[in-house]
């Protein structure tokens, strides 16, 4: 890579993909680009959310001629139910991931595969939860905390422990609006109960439960996932890495980790680093072993180990199309079933590991915390053994990558910001330096950029273009999930991207030695962003809803993203979506989400499919918030 810094533009990325698709065509591979053509135009009833098939009297579809289903349910009831079901799917998924992490914590031991890497964080959480730590063996404490955390999923009484981290005002809103999340599993069950035939059809009730379900995710299951992952694998600190397909190395055995749960990817990375394994790879004619990642598990190992990111959601097929991927190992979520048949067109081994995500045309190695070491070892060995099966004529790795500094947990952020504009000792270790930057106008505000890719939006364009405009306007970005990877691929997480910022943000980047787009992790790590805004509110004395901060998922696609949206707005942060959440079929539900809920939680959604307008609306909202608090 030349020393002169420039962003990788979309056209270059698309040309690289085109070249890979040519290889695909040679071997008869299918691709999402082809399948999208067969699937469009999409079903209008589905798009508007007005198809109901929750009972066998249907399916019922709402039209001007048939405004009600057979049971009499109208468009608002059907759209509202679909929205709640969608949320419950996402909340359950994040939270079950969090549960697995708690179970891994329960299996941790001084001499086992999983250790406690951040004992201080464990003790801090124990303190918050009223658990005595004095004189306790750290693994006894880990087991006790794991059990306590697992109880959060099914506790018969009370609400989530984590919500006490929110400012008092926010907690008061949740109590008043009856959306305080109870046991996580209960919120999932309650949502599915409400959406059963003959239960709720009142939009207010369905939307209210969607918010509570979201909160059970963000201030429940996802927070368990993030916090206990930090305890187990270490709280992220800034670390240098690289992003885009060029991180794969032709001479090496390439292993790609894909999915979400770091319990698997951490172990795979551990064994790929093992001198014994590297020697074995060399004995098979490779120079070494390269592990790279796709989707959120990639974010997890990038943040903690500097493992490079091969790409985001819509690039998952590309890693196989390079012809240089010996093995792609997946755990759960966001995995295309297409990877099975696709890998069969190449020498690639497609390995599934979780009973939760089983797919045809894959090799299943059941991964568990108890057998993690031997599982990971056999996965790495399988990849090495497969190196000799490569078809050299199919190998092409696009030479395209960017440097990125990642790993900005709240703890790390507070630390780096200490260097910015603090002159007083009493601001150390707080978010006050950041508040000072915002109130003085050096920074206009912050945007949380999150979420997926979706073929409905030109891939990565919304993420990258929005970020470019925001940083040019002195708005700092915290990013997670596939949005973070889009930024990294473009070069926006390279510290040299400061030159693309307005003067204020550029100065902050220089002083704190940070890139303008800060990688905060995977999608469960949006809980980190909740903790950050909670701290900002407490340190500034403002309500969360008064902070010049907004959330944005411009290319989202998954149920998880809707669950996230619901907890972000319920926390008081206006949320901007670039893809419609299947609610346009009911004015009542749409109006509730974009207006009505503001009366409940002091924030609401904006849905805007035009990317230019979307970014302008965010900047406008940030400026409105500044004006309202007189800064």
Residues 560-619 that bind ligand SF4 (CB under 6 A): none
Smallest distance from ligand SF4 to CB 582, Å: 15
Tokens of 205: 């009730």
What are the backbone angles phi and psi of residue 90, rounded to the nearest 5°? -70, -45
Between residues 181 and 203, which has the closer beta carbon with respect to ligand SF4?
A: 203
CA distances from 550 to 165, 273, 599 (A): 20, 40, 17
Q: Which is nearer to ligand BF8, 315 or 343 (CB)?
A: 315
Give the DSSP letter of residue 68. Answer: B
Q: Least separation, in Å, of the C-beta of 320 and ligand BF8?
A: 17
What distance in Å separates the CA atoms of residue 128 and residue 176, rounded to the nearest whole number? 24
Q: Which does 334 bind (CB under 5 to 8 A by kind): ligand SF4, ligand BF8, none?
A: ligand BF8
Rule CB under 6 A: is residue 69 a binding residue for ligand SF4?
yes
* Residue 73 near which of ligand BF8, ligand SF4, none (CB within 5-8 Å, type-dependent): ligand SF4
* Residue that the structure tokens 């809803």 belong to: 545
Q: Of ligand BF8, ligand SF4, none, which one sits near residue 313, judging by CB under 5 to 8 A according to partner kind? A: ligand BF8
Q: Give the C-alpha separation, 404 to 393, whole Å.
A: 31
- Least Å distance between CB 417 and ligand BF8? 26
What do you get for the CA distance between the two ends of the chain, in Å? Answer: 42
Site for ligand SF4 in 301-320 (CB under 6 A): none
User: Cβ closer to ligand SF4: 197 or 395?
Assistant: 197
- Centroid of chain to Cα 563: 11
Distance in Å, CB of 221 to ligand BF8, minimum: 13
The one of ligand BF8, ligand SF4, none whose footprint includes residue 452, by CB under 5 to 8 A per kind, is ligand BF8
- Near ligand SF4 by CB under 6 A, which window of 70-78, 120-128, 386-394, 538-546? 70-78
Task: Output the smallest distance, CB 212 to ligand SF4, in A.
Answer: 22
Question: HSE (CB half, 13 Å, CA atoms) of 245?
Answer: 28
Contacting positions for ligand BF8 (CB under 6 A) = 260, 295-296, 313, 334, 451-452, 481-482, 522-523, 558, 560-561
CA 452 to chain centre: 8
User: Is the CB of 83 or the CB of 313 nearer to ligand BF8?
Assistant: 313
Phi-psi map region of 429: left, alpha, beta (phi>0 left; psi -120 to 50 alpha): left
* 13, 460 contact by CB (below 8 A): yes
Take residue 31 and report the two structure tokens written for it: 């691709």
Shortest separation between residue 424's beta carbon and ligand BF8, angstroms: 39
What minimum distance in Å lies between the beta carbon of 578 and ligand BF8?
A: 13
The entry of ligand SF4, ligand BF8, none near residue 57 (CB within 5 to 8 angstroms by kind) is ligand SF4
User: In the set 21, 197, 205, 619, which binds ligand SF4 (CB under 6 A)?
Assistant: 197
318 binds, among ligand BF8, ligand SF4, none (CB under 5 to 8 A by kind): none
> Pick from ligand BF8, ligand SF4, none: which does 593 bind, CB < 5 to 8 A by kind?
none
**Closest approach of ligand SF4 to the CB of residue 203, in Å:** 15
Question: How far from 509 is each of 6, 251, 427, 522, 563, CA to CA, in Å?
Answer: 17, 36, 19, 23, 32
Chain mean position to CA 208: 24
Q: What share of the chain is helix, strand, coil (3-state, %, to 5)?
A: 55, 10, 35
What, of ligand BF8, ligand SF4, none, does residue 197 touch, CB below 5 to 8 Å by kind?
ligand SF4
* Residues 363, 262: Cα–Cα separation, whole Å: 20
Q: Name the binder of 55 from ligand SF4, ligand BF8, none, CB < 5-8 A by kind.
A: ligand SF4
Nearest to 310 by CA among 289, 285, 293, 331: 293
- DSSP 8-state secondary structure symbol assigned to residue 364: E
Taking the least distance from each CB to ligand SF4, the nearer of 60 and 268 is 60
The residue among 24, 13, 18 whose CA lies nearest residue 453 is 13
Looking at the Cβ atoms of 258 and 403, the one nearer to ligand BF8 is: 258
Per the listing, tokens 């915290």 go with 478
Q: 150 vs 197, which CB is nearer to ligand SF4?
A: 197
Whether 102 contacts 110, CB under 8 Å: no
**Closer residue to ligand BF8 in complex, CB, 296/466:** 296
User: Please, are residues 448 and 536 in contact by the beta-carbon 8 Å criterion?
Assistant: no
Would you say 32 and 338 are in contact if contact means Cβ atoms under 8 Å apart? yes
The residue among 451 and 491 lying less far from ligand BF8, judged by its C-beta, is: 451
Scan for tokens 């904006």, then name that residue.
Answer: 606
Contact region with ligand SF4 (CB under 6 A), list: 69-77, 183-191, 372-380, 384-392? 69-77
Assigned token pair, 385: 């053994």
Task: Decide: is 196 part of the binding site for ligand SF4 (CB under 6 A).
Answer: no
For the bound state, the minimum distance from the C-beta of residue 81 to ligand SF4, rounded and expressed in Å, comes to 8
Report whether 443 contacts 476 (CB < 8 A): yes
Which structure tokens are listed for 188? 């999932």
Residue number, 73 or 173, with CB nearest to ligand SF4: 73
Nearer Cβ to ligand SF4, position 50 or 351? Answer: 50
CB of 559 to ligand SF4, least distance (A): 19
354: left (phi over 0), alpha (psi -120 to 50) or beta: beta
To the nearest whole angstrom, how small is the minimum distance from the Cβ of residue 328 to ligand BF8? Answer: 14
Show the tokens assigned to 263. Answer: 């319990």
Shortest Cβ 32–ligand BF8 spacing (Å):
12
What dihedral do alpha carbons 192, 198, 204, 208 form, nearest 10°? -20
In the complex, what is the shortest distance from the CB of residue 125 to ligand BF8, in angstroms, rounded to a whole number?
23
| The only residue of 7, 13, 50, 73 in contact with ligand SF4, by rule CB under 6 A | 73
**How near is the Cβ of 188 to ligand SF4 at its closest, in Å?**
20
Task: Spell out, one character per residue from 43 to 62, where the chain touches ligand SF4: x when CB under 6 A holds, - when not.
Answer: ---------xxxx-xxxx--
Q: How far is the CB of 197 from ligand SF4 (least distance, A)?
A: 4
Find where tokens 């500044």 sit. Answer: 626
Identify which of residues 85 and 519 has a Cβ nearer to ligand SF4 in the complex: 85
Task: Give the SS3 label for residue 406.
Answer: strand
Total of chain residues touching ligand SF4, rule CB under 6 A: 14
Q: How many CA atoms lie within 13 A of 336 on its CB side?
A: 25
Indicate which single residue of 70, 199, 428, 629 sits in contact with ligand SF4 (rule: CB under 6 A). 70
Residues 6 or more apart whose Cβ sits within 8 Å of residue 379: 255, 268, 271, 327, 329, 351, 353, 365
Nearer to ligand BF8, 452 or 518 (CB): 452
- Contacting residues toward ligand SF4, per CB under 6 A: 52-55, 57-60, 69-71, 73, 78, 197
């Amino acid at each position: 890579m030349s020393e002169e810094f420039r962003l990788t533009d979309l056209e270059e990325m698309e040309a690289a993909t085109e070249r890979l698709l040519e290889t695909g065509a040679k071997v008869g591979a299918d691709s999402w680009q082809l399948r999208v053509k067969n699937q469009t135009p999409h079903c209008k009833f589905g798009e508007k959310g007005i198809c109901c098939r929750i009972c066998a009297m249907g399916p019922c579809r709402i039209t001007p001629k048939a405004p009600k289903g057979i049971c009499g349910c109208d468009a608002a009831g059907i759209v509202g139910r679909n929205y709640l079901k969608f949320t419950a799917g996402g909340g359950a998924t994040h939270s079950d991931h969090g549960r697995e992490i708690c179970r891994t914590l329960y299996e941790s031991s001084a001499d086992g595969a999983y250790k406690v890497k951040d004992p201080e964080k464990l003790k801090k959480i124990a303190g918050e939860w009223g658990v005595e730590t004095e004189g306790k063996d750290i693994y006894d404490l880990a087991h006790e905390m794991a059990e306590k955390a697992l109880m959060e999923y099914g506790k018969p009484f009370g609400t989530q422990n984590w919500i006490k981290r929110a400012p008092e005002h926010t907690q008061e809103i949740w109590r008043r609006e009856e959306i305080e999340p109870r046991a996580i599993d209960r919120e999932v069950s309650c949502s599915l109960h409400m959406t059963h035939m003959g239960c709720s059809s009142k939009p207010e009730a369905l939307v209210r439960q969607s918010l509570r379900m979201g909160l059970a995710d963000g201030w429940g299951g996802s927070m368990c996932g993030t916090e206990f992952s930090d305890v187990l694998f270490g709280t992220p600190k800034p670390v240098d890495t690289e992003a885009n397909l060029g991180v794969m190395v032709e001479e090496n055995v390439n292993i790609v980790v894909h999915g979400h749960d770091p319990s698997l990817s951490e172990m795979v990375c551990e064994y790929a680093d093992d001198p014994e394994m590297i020697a074995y790879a060399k004995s098979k004619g490779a120079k070494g072993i390269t592990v790279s990642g796709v989707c959120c598990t990639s974010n997890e190992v990038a943040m903690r180990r500097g493992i490079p990111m091969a790409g985001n959601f819509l690039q998952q097929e590309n890693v196989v199309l390079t012809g240089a991927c010996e093995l792609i190992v997946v755990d759960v979520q966001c995995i295309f079933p297409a990877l099975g048949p696709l890998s069969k067109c190449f020498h690639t081994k497609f390995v599934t590991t979780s009973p939760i995500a089983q797919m045809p045309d894959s090799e299943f190695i059941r991964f568990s915390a108890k057998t993690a070491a031997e599982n990971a070892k056999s996965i790495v060995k399988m990849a090495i053994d497969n190196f000799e099966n490569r078809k050299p004529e199919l190998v092409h790795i696009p030479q395209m990558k960017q440097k990125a500094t990642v790993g900005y947990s709240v703890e790390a952020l507070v630390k780096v910001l200490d260097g910015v504009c603090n002159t007083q000792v009493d601001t150390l270790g707080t978010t006050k330096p950041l508040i000072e930057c915002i109130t003085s106008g050096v920074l206009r505000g912050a945007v949380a950029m999150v979420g997926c890719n979706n073929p409905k939006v030109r891939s990565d364009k919304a993420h990258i273009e929005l970020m470019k405009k925001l940083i040019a306007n002195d708005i700092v970005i915290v990013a997670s999930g596939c949005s973070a990877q889009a930024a990294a691929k473009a070069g926006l997480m390279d510290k040299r991207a400061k030159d693309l910022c307005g003067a204020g943000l550029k100065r902050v980047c220089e002083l704190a030695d940070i890139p303008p787009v800060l990688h905060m992790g995977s999608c469960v790590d949006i809980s980190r962003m909740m903790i950050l805004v909670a701290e900002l509110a407490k340190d500034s004395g403002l309500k969360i809803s008064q902070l010049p901060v907004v959330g944005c998922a411009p290319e989202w696609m998954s149920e998880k993203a809707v669950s996230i949206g619901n907890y972000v707005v319920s926390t008081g942060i206006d949320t901007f979506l670039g893809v419609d959440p299947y609610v346009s079929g009911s004015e009542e539900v749409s109006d509730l989400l974009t207006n009505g809920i503001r009366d409940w939680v002091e924030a609401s959604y904006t849905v805007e499919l035009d990317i230019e307008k979307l970014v302008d609306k965010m900047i406008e909202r940030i400026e409105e918030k500044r004006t309202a608090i007189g800064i």
